[in-house]
Amino acid sequence: MALLFPAALAAFAALIVPLIIHIARKSEQQPTDFAALRWLRSRPKPRSRLRFDEWPLLLIRLALLALAALWLAQPVLFGAGDDRPYVAIVAGAQVAPGTLGDARIHWLAPGFPKIDQPQPEGPQPVASLIRQLDAELPAKTPLTIVTPTILEGADANRLRLSRKVTWRIASGAMAATGNKPALPLAISIRHDQAHRDALRYIRGAALVWQPAESDSKIDSLPTDASLPEKGRILVWLAGGTLPDSVIDWTKQGGTLLVASDAHPPAKEAAQPLWRDAVGKTLAEALPLGKGRLIRFIRPLAPSYMPELLETDFPDHLRALITDQPAPSHVAAADYAPLSGGRAYDQPPRQLRPWLAILIALLLTTERWLATRRSRSIAP
């Protein structure tokens, strides 16, 4: 338990008000003079004692002021989240809720509606929703995600969450995200002898983009060949300092993709474009005049970059070049989240509503005690 505004506890000073009222309460006894008693020798008056009448009413008023001061201090309770198992079902997955045990079952959709609500329609941002769920659930809450065989709305990289997730694959299919077919790209490759092995990975990915007319869209030549015309993508697979002609070509609005051992000119802060499963950068981009330079961080060899052998490498490479998100469909078996991610602090539970109810009950009781007929003079 904690206080968001502890300075408000200064309002406890108001507790002196009921005490003053009860001390100053006039006595119900009225003195009456008798003539026969006027000649009696006066005796010193006994010492008056501090006296409180109607203790229940006094205590309730003190409690009211104390609760009001505590309400102003905004008390909250940390660690009061629901730790019951949580099951999120991706729309399209065919699963019987009765097979999931005694758990909270919700749809993996914005707002996380309960399973008794209608199934969400249309494509869903699955990756973003899983991250949100991981951040909002308490750290000790078991999380199960039920997904169909193929996921739509996935990110380019596997998720890394703060907890270990039970990843269940069921039958069914999600609604398609409606990605438009990728248009063929005109790509030109310039390479040296040292990068012959890297050439086949780039060329192989480019062939996937335009299988029907790949030969007319890809030209692969040595580095001493002339540079392509504007509107094409230039891949420079050679080490060392980039030639001035290549830099000028890029500054005029071209897109240049270079190997990890190429040395670009003095650059501004590079922006990571592609990360591996553990979050390390695979490729970065920086502006160059009116164009854009993209540089691989690792050598284009499977021993350094295993992603070259993945089936989605052509999609990632195309996303780098076109500055567009990679296709979001992925096999659910390959997208099971990893653990070890950042754990998020849970929002505390507000106690002010409960204090408001208690204050209302005490106020009703105080008014009843203060206005009942059996009372004499009210303080």
Q: What is the pLDDT of residues 369-379, one digit of tens each?
A: 888 766 555 44
In whole angstroms, give the CA distance from residue 87 to residue 84: 10
pLDDT score of 235 more than 80: yes
* Across 109-133, average pLDDT: 86
- pLDDT of 279-301, one tens digit each? 788 988 888 888 889 999 999 99
State the pLDDT at residue 297.
Answer: 92
State the pLDDT at residue 361.
Answer: 93
pLDDT band at 30 (very low <50, low <70, confident <90, very high): low
State the pLDDT at residue 87.
Answer: 92
State the pLDDT at residue 350.
Answer: 83
State the pLDDT at residue 296.
Answer: 93
pTM recorded for the entire structure: 0.46
Query: H/E element holding 2?
Result: strand 2-3
In whole angstroms, give the CA distance from residue 143 to residue 166: 6
In whole angstroms, give the CA distance from residue 342 to residue 320: 27
Per the structure block, which two tokens stand in for 214? 């790949």
pLDDT band at 215 (very low <50, low <70, confident <90, very high): very low
Owner of token pair 């780039």: 202
Q: Which residues contact 293 (CB under 8 A, 6 or more apart)?
A: 250, 256, 258, 264, 267, 285, 286, 287
The 8-class DSSP code of residue 367 comes to H
For 2-16, letters b (16+ CB in 10 Å) and e give eeeeeebeebeeeee
As a whole number, the mean pLDDT across the chain is 80
